Structure 1
Amino acid sequence: MSDDIKNFLHQYINLSSDIVSIFEDLVVFTELEPSEFLTKIGEFPNDFFIIKSGIIRSYLLNENGTEATRAFFTAGDITGASSAMMRRMPSEVNYQALTKVTGYKGDFYKFLELTLQYHELSLFYIKTLENAYLKAENIILDVSTLSATERYLDLKKRIPNIDDLITQRNIASYLNISPVQLSRIRKKLINEKLF
Structure 2
Amino acid sequence: MTNNDIYYFLKRHIEPSDDMVSNFKSLLSYTELDSNQYFTKNGEHPKYFFIVKTGIMRSFVLNENGTKSTRAFFTIGDVTGANSAMMRNVPSEVNYQAITKVTGYKGDFHKLIDLTLKHKEFSLFYIKILEDAYLKAEEILLNVSTLTSKERYLALQKRIPNIDNLITQRNIASYLNISPVQLSRIRKKNIGS
TM range (shorter): over 0.9
Mapped partners of 2:6, 2:16: distance in 1:
11
Quote the Cα distance in structure 2 between the aligned partners of 1:49 and 1:87.
Answer: 18
TM-score (norm 1): 0.97
> Matches of residues 1-195 of structure 1 in structure 2 within 5 Å?
1-192=2-193
User: CA deviation digits over 1:115-170, x for unaligned, max 9?
Assistant: 11111001000000011001000100000000010000000001111011100000
Deviation at 1:37, TM superposition (A): 0.4
Distance in 1 (alpha carbons) for counterparts of 2:91 and 2:47? 10
Instruction: Tell me the C-alpha RMSD between the 2 structures.
Output: 0.5
Q: Secondary structure at the match of 1:65?
A: coil
- Corresponding residue pairs, total: 192
Query: Aligned equivalents of 1:19 and 1:188: distance in 2?
Result: 50
> SS state of the match for residue 28, structure 1?
strand
Report deviation, 1:26: 1.0
Q: CA deviation at 1:25?
A: 1.2
TM-superposed CA distance for 1:177, in Å, is: 0.2
Unmatched tracts of structure 2, length 5 or more: none
**Aligned equivalents of 2:19 and 2:46: distance in 1?**
28
Percent identity between matched residues is 67
SS in 2 for 1:29: strand
Name the SS for the 1:69 alignment partner. Answer: strand
Corresponding letter in the other structure for 1:147: T
Counterpart of 1:184, as a letter, is R
Shift >3 Å, 4+ stretches: none
TM-score normalized by the length of structure 2? 0.98
Q: Residue 38 of structure 1 aligns to a residue in which SS? A: strand
Q: Deviations over 1:80-133 (max 9, x none)?
A: 000000000000000000000000001101111111111100100000001100
